[in-house]
Amino acid sequence: MARAQILQAILIWVLLLILLSLTVGASFLPLGRMNPVVSMGIALIKASLIFWFYMQLKKERGLVRLAALGAGAWLLILFLLVSSDVVTRGSF
């Protein structure tokens, strides 16, 4: 059992390194306005891997998962509010 957990942790670590290289590579691509969207999408995948495997949400039940989902939803709401503020502001 311990060997399988170590192999899983190493696999997730390698996946996170691949996603890191994708993030760095995407920053050099001329994507225009889609660059933040691509970066946030990759960051969301990385955060999901960390939550699910390293924070062991995979093994938890009901209320703990609900609390993690609520925290993610609250973070999304705050991000959307800040984004809307930045978009609607005029120049300083």
- Residue 12 in this model has a pLDDT that exceeds 80: yes
Token pair for residue 37? Answer: 């969207």
Report yes or no: 57 and 64 within 8 Å, Cβ to Cβ: yes
Residues 52, 91 within the same domain: no
Residues 51, 66 within the same domain: no
Residues 66, 78 within the same domain: yes
Q: What is the C-alpha to C-alpha distance for residues 8 and 20, in angstroms, rounded to an integer?
A: 18
Residues 48, 88 within the same domain: no
pLDDT in tens, 64-92: 888 888 988 998 899 899 988 888 887 65
Q: What is the pTM of this model?
A: 0.73
Residues 46, 70 within the same domain: no
Q: Which domain holds residue 52?
A: 1-59
Q: What is the DSSP string of 4-66?
A: HHHHHHHHHHHHHHHHHHHHHHHHHS--TTHHHHHHHHHHHHHHHHIIIIIS-TTT--HHHHH
Residues 65, 52 within the same domain: no
pLDDT in tens, 31-74: 888 888 899 899 989 988 988 888 888 788 888 888 888 988 99
pLDDT the model gives residue 19:
96
